[in-house]
Chain A
Amino acid sequence: MWSLAWRNIWRNKRRTAITAASIMFAVFFCILMRGFQIGTWHDLIDSVLRSYTGYVQIHAKGFWDNHTLDYLIPENDPKISALDSLQLPIKRFIPRFESFALASNTQKIKAVIVTGISPSLEKNFTRIHEKIIDGEYLHENEKAILVSQRLAKFLNIAVGDSLVLMSQGYQGASAASLLKVKGIVKLPSPEFDNQMIFMPLATAQDFYSSPDLITSWIVDLKNPDEMKKVVKMLSAHLPTDRYEVMSWHEMLVELYQQYVSDEGGSVIMMIILYLIVGFGIFGTAMMMLNERRYELGIMIAIGMQRWRVSSLLSLELFLICIMGLIAGVALSVPILTYYHYHPITFTGQMAEAYKAFGMEPVMSIAWRIDYILHQMLNVALIAIIVLAYPVYSVFRLNLSHALKR
Chain B
Amino acid sequence: MSSIIELKNLTKIYREDGNEVVAVDNVNLQIQKGEFTAIVGPSGSGKTTLLNLLGGIDKPTSGQIIVDGTDITRLSFSQLVDFRLHNIGFVFQSYNLIPVLTAKENVEFVMFLQNRPQSEREKRSTELLTAIGLAERMNSRPSKLSGGQQQRVAVARALAPRPKFVLADEPTANLDSRSAENLLEIMEMLNRNENITFIFSTHDPRVMRKARRIVTLLDGHIDNDTVTG
**A11 within 8 Å of B by Cβ?**
yes
Q: Mark A298-342, 1 if CB is under 8 A from B, else 0.
A: 111111111010000000000000000000000000000000000
A304 with B100: CB separation less than 8 A: no
Binding site for A on B (CB under 8 A): 52, 55, 57-58, 77-78, 81-82, 84-86, 90, 92-93, 95-96, 98-101, 109-110, 113-114, 157-158, 161
A399 with B58: CB separation less than 8 A: yes
Q: Which of A7, A8, A300, A405 contacts B81 (CB 8 A)?
A: A300
Inter-chain CA distance A116–B61, complex, in Å, is 94
B90 with A301: CB separation less than 8 A: yes
B57 with A298: CB separation less than 8 A: no
Give A1-41 interface residues, CB cut-off 8 Å to B.
4, 7-8, 10-11
Inter-chain CA distance A399–B109, complex, in Å, is 19
A403 with B57: CB separation less than 8 A: yes
Among A11, A294, A302, A305, chain B packs the most CB atoms within 10 A around the CB of A302
**A295 within 8 Å of B by Cβ?**
yes
Give A265-300 interface residues, CB cut-off 8 Å to B.
294-295, 298-300
B100 with A301: CB separation less than 8 A: no
B98 with A400: CB separation less than 8 A: no
Known: A301-B55, A303-B86. A403 touches B92 (CB 8 A): yes
Inter-chain CA distance A300–B52, complex, in Å, is 13
A294 with B95: CB separation less than 8 A: yes
B81 with A304: CB separation less than 8 A: yes
Q: Which of A11, A295, A302, A400 contacts B110 (CB 8 A)?
A: A302
A305 with B82: CB separation less than 8 A: yes
Q: Which A residues touch B85, using CB under 8 A?
A: 302-304
Please give the distance in Å from B209's CB to the nearest CB on chain A: 27
22 A-B pairs with CB atoms under 8 Å apart are A4-B100, A7-B101, A298-B92, A298-B96, A300-B81, A301-B55, A301-B92, A302-B84, A302-B90, A302-B113, A302-B158, A303-B81, A303-B86, A303-B113, A305-B78, A305-B82, A306-B78, A306-B81, A308-B113, A399-B57, A403-B57, A405-B93
Q: Which A residues touch B84, using CB under 8 A?
A: 301-303
Known: A294-B95, A403-B92. A301 touches B78 (CB 8 A): no
Q: Which of A11, A400, A403, A405 contacts B99 (CB 8 A)?
A: A11
